[in-house]
Structure 1
Amino acid sequence: MNLFGIMHVSGSALSAERLRAEVVAANMANAETTQTPQGGPYRRQHVVFESEAPSFADAFTENGFSAEAEGRIGGVTIAAVVPDQSKGLRRYDPQHPDADKDGYVSYPDINPLTEMVDLMSANRAYGLNSSAVQATKAMISSSLDILK
């Protein structure tokens, strides 16, 4: 893999982790949202990553490694942002405007502790990929200095 390929992989991972952090922030912001335009409480969102790398079978041809020869390299892409399948939480609050006839209100099943761990994980992955970009830039710069 060439140095610019490494930049592509790290750049795609940076984009993916940025979206993951945005989704986590949206989850935290809507932790108390009891009514959405679709009806019902907000549903926690999850980001699903997918590899851009060619399959193992596609990587081999008569000429050897075709994926590298064609410039196709791996990376990260967002496969989907999917809602959580949990039913949510119900709390007794008869004074709430969204309470049902029995006085219960449906809230999203969002744990701030879980969201903070997800946010810290996205932040750490973003930082590590940023470091990889910086190291690659330094290698490219060193390569250019050697050519002088």
Structure 2
Amino acid sequence: MSAPIKSLEQVLTNAASGLSAQSIRMNTIASNLANAGSVGSTEESTYHTKYPVFSEVKQGLAGMGQDDQPVGGVRVSSVKDSQKPLEKRYEPSHPLADKDGYVYMTDVNPISEMTNMISASKEYQANVEIMNTTKNLIMQTLSVINTK
């Protein structure tokens, strides 16, 4: 395979890793939104907002990693729980209230999550555009090679 096509394949690999990472981010946001407004009887048992942690992949290999994320580009290295203290509300009649009558409210902020979803969606779309442009460049390169 020619050098330009191999180089463009790496662009596709990097864009695919971005798609994978943004997909995980969107799933995390969906989980956060699904749990917005939830309560618990203890701070530990109450849902905490989750955040994906992105890291650069420094390997030069193309292909899939051991956890089905592309190698090269970016990846989600972990999903962390928020460490923010939860709001405690006095609701002694609530079925989940602790012995003192308190329930713990989740720290999910739906407005912040919707903003994050818009950002993740735009970044996903950008990676799709990178892949489409790269595909067109590969097709043009192959056309030039075939006409020689």
TM score, norm. by length of structure 1: 0.81
Residue 126 of structure 1 corresponds to 124
2:45 corresponds, among 16, 22, 40, to 40
Give me the whole-angstrom Cα distance separating, in 1, the residues matched to 2:120 and 2:96. Answer: 34
Residue 107 of structure 1, CA deviation: 1.2
> What does 1:83-94 correspond to in 2, within 5 Å?
83-94=81-92
Alignment match, 2:102: 104
Aligned-partner residue type, residue 95 of structure 1: S
- CA deviation vs aligned residue, 1:99-141 (integer Å, no higher than 9, x gap): 1233221011111011011111110100000000000000001
In structure 2, the partner of 1:145 is 143
Residues 58-112 of structure 1 show CA distances to partners (whole Å, capped at 9, x for unaligned) of xxxxxxxxx6xx87x8400111101111121122222211112332210111110
Deviation at 1:53, TM superposition (A): 2.3
Equivalent residues in 2 for 1:14-93, closer than 5 Å = 14-35=19-40, 40-53=45-58, 74-93=72-91
Which letter does structure 2 place at the counterpart of 1:123?
S
Letter in 1 for 2:54: F
Q: TM-score, normalised by structure 2?
A: 0.81
Question: Any idea what SS the aligned residue of 1:2 has?
Answer: helix
| Distance (whole Å) between structure 2 residues aligned to residue 93 and residue 84 of structure 1 | 24
Q: Which moved further from structure 2: 95-104 or 119-128?
A: 95-104
Q: Quick one: distance in 2 between partners of 1:145 and 1:95?
A: 73
Superposed structure 1 runs of 4+ greater than 3 Å apart: none
Q: Structure 1 residues 89-98 or 76-85, which shifts more?
A: 89-98
Aligned counterparts of 1:17 and 1:10: Cα–Cα separation in 2: 11
Shift of 1:32: 2.5
Q: Secondary structure at the match of 2:25?
A: helix
Alpha-carbon distance in 1 for matches of 2:98, 2:45: 11
Q: Identity of counterpart residues, as a percentage?
A: 33
